[in-house]
Amino acid sequence: MGEGKYQAAFDLLIPFELAKLADAGFNRMLGEAALRAGRAEQAVTFFGRSLAASPNSVEAHLGLGRAYLALGDYARAKIEFETVLRFDDLPPDLESQAEIYAEAASGYAEGRRLLSSGYAMIGYGNYRVGAVGGGPRNDPFYAARVGGRLNYEMDDGYALVGSLDYRFRDYEPKDRRNDSDLRWNGAVSRNVGEGNWIAGARGRVSYRGEGLYRNDFGVYGDYRLRLDENNQVAAGLEVRQRRYPNGRLRERTRNIVEATGSWTRSLLDGKASFTLAGQAGREFNTERTDGDANFFGLSPSLNFSITENLGGFAMFWWQNDRYNIERLGAPGDRLVGIGTRNDNLYEVGGGLTWQFAPKWSLNPEILYIRDRSNILANNYSSTEIWITLRRDF
């Protein structure tokens, strides 16, 4: 193994297979030899035996994920990797997500504890405001994005996790503000058997034009559980503040508590995955006109691989916001007499990823947004379409 002679190592180890069925270390080593010798299907068996004997083995989880990926089983590979690793801001397509995890897993197998990855993107698109929202109006833009992630694997399944993500849009119309957004995350996670928990802090700083900013800061925790090779569930809770420090938007400052849950299912022999996520919570301690609000929603999504180098995704997001301060409906509002504001927010999107060279991809995407409210001024619609060139490293 140390000399890189994996087929020879496999041939030396395989005669002892039956005598070592319950030996976690032996099966992990045999699985590594099989995987590197091009025997991915057998590697799945050996890494599975290693996990049965030692459910908390980081090496076996990551090895099993790499074996699934070698078989082209991207969804199962991703589920397995996520019992150990925590990476934010992954590409939208399933294969690229699994490959980024696999590169980190290979680094761990080679003895590295600090696992990192990054990305840079440039693109061009158009933001079209619909008739519901003051349009029609087209605002072409240039976009750039850069970020990175770190996982430092410690003993007993613990890991330190961090990420940074910066996004910028330069709109061509001079009467429209540009967008600038910096997001950060720092946390500690731990793998326990088929599950992984994480707790930490995260936030963002967003430019809102005219010298105004929005600052988000919160603490969060969530737990992922691999039910079997095809199914993963997760649940989380976050408490955060959305703060507008000064200016005309200051009254929108509020505290938010949000609970989330999701279920992911591998489909088509790992060539696709379906996720159904939900969220519910409350916004409070605010001075805005409509007061506090309860919210809940759902967001199904589908990721799929079309060919070895072409993948795609489709998503839908819905949220209902119910406010608690009564107001008299203005002309055009759907309020009858005195009532409270009620919003339904929708997003529908999709895109493709063409990996035309290792770690290089072109990504055309489209997103439609529709805000429906019984308060006339809060109705809105827009369509964004853009294409980006992405480099992962």
- Please name the residue ranges forming H helices in the chain: 6-13, 24-36, 40-53, 58-70, 74-81, 94-109
Whose CA is closest to 140, among 370, 385, 390, 366? Answer: 385
pLDDT bin (cut points 50, 70, 90) of residue 249 is confident
Residues 6+ apart with CB under 8 A from 63: 28, 31, 32, 35, 43, 47, 50, 105, 109
pLDDT in the model for residue 107: 93
pLDDT of the residue at 234: 98
- Is residue 336 predicted with pLDDT exceeding 80? no
> What integer is the mean pLDDT of 133-162?
95
Mean pLDDT of 239-264: 94
Please tell me the predicted confidence (pLDDT) of residue 227.
95
Asked if omega into 136 is within 30° of 0 (cis), the reply is: yes
Segment 244-265 mean pLDDT: 94
pLDDT digits (tens, 9 = 90+) for 46-95: 999 999 999 999 999 999 999 999 999 999 999 999 999 999 889 989 99
Answer yes or no: is pLDDT of 328 > 80: yes
- The span from the CA of 289 to the CA of 292, in Å, is 9
298 pLDDT tier (thresholds 50, 70, 90): very high
pLDDT of 349 reads 98
The rounded distance, in Å, linking the Cα atoms of 189 and 223 is 9
Mean pLDDT computed over 198-212: 91
pLDDT at 83: 94
pTM metric for this prediction = 0.92
Report the pLDDT value the prediction gives residue 338, as an integer from 0 to 100. 87
Domain boundaries along the sequence of the chain: 112-392
How far from 387 is each of 305, 362, 367, 384, 390, CA to CA, in Å? 19, 7, 12, 10, 10
Mean pLDDT of the chain: 94
> Average pLDDT of 145-174?
95
Fold held by 112-392: Porin (2.40.160)
The per-residue pLDDT for 101 is 95
For the residues 119-125, what does the mean pLDDT come to? 98
* pLDDT tens, residue by residue, 228-241: 999 999 999 999 99
Taking a C-beta distance cutoff of 8 angstroms, is the pair 94, 355 a contact?
no
pLDDT for residue 132 is more than 90: yes
Residue 352 pLDDT level (bands cut at 50, 70, 90): very high
Whole-angstrom distance, CA of residue 25 vs CA of residue 50: 7
Tens of pLDDT, residue by residue over 16-45, are 999 999 999 999 999 999 999 999 999 999
- pLDDT bin (cut points 50, 70, 90) of residue 176 is confident
Residue 208, pLDDT score: 78
